[in-house]
Amino acid sequence: MKNKNSSIKTSVQSSAPAGISKRGRRVIFSGIAVLIAGFFVLTKTDPAGQNLASMLSPFLILGGYLIIGIGIFVPDKADAPKDIGVKTN
């Protein structure tokens, strides 16, 4: 006798796409660019930490990490319907 559960197939469709969106990847890459810029500016600081690079680099580094984190959750733009106008007769 066959098992009744083996003939039942269930399909689960998730409404959210898997992975990171194309738009999210662009945001992540821009965050990586800001992060690299922050570390480059960090190399220009003086030992006393009194120049502009010393004050700017922490904000660039933290901002880069923040942008990367935001990029993980950014969805693709939803396609707008092409026929939005009101039809008249």
Residues 70, 29: contact at Cβ < 8 Å?
A: no
pTM above 0.85, yes or no: no
Q: Please provide the distance, in angstroms rounded to a whole number, between the alpha carbons at the two ends of the chain.
A: 64
Determine the distance from the C-alpha atom of residue 68 to the mean position of all C-alpha atoms in its chain, rounded to a whole number. Answer: 6
pLDDT tens, position by position, 29-83: 999 999 999 999 999 999 998 999 999 999 999 999 999 999 999 998 875 456 6
Tokens 């120049």 sit on residue: 51
Sign of CA dihedral 30, 31, 32, 34: positive
- 5-14, 25-34, 76-85: which has the minimum mean pLDDT? 5-14
Give the Cα separation of 77 and 71 in Å (integer): 13
Long-range contacts of 38-45 (CB under 8 A, 24+ apart): 38/62, 38/63, 38/64
Tokens of 28: 């992540």
